[in-house]
Amino acid sequence: MAGAVERNRVRRRLREAARGLHDHHGYDLIVSTDASALRVPFTVLRDQVEAAARGAVARASVAAGPVAPGHAPAPGKP
C-alpha cells in the first residue's frame, strides 16, 4: 500500500462491509486485504466479506465439535 491514507481507506471500507455481521457465534473474526479492496465495487466487497465470515465460522464450528444446545462453542476449543 502507498501509505496511511490508503490503508485507512481500506480499513474503513472493510469495517463498513463487515457491519451487520452478527451471526459469528461468539468467534472473533480477523479480516485482511490489500489495496485491491479499494478497486472492488462495494457490494462485491461486502459479499466477499460475508462469504469469508460464514466459511470461517463453519470451519471453526466443525473443528470445535458438538456443542450443547443453547451454548456457543468456545473459539479454538474442541
Give the model confidence (pLDDT) of 28-54 as tens digits: 888 888 888 999 999 999 999 989 888
| Per-residue cell: 10 | 481500506
Q: Note if the pTM is more than 0.85.
A: no
**Neighbour count for residue 24 (Cβ, 10 Å):** 16
Task: Classify residue 73 as left (phi > 0), alpha (psi -120 to 50) or beta.
Answer: beta
Q: For the chain, which residues make up each domain, given as ranges?
A: 4-64
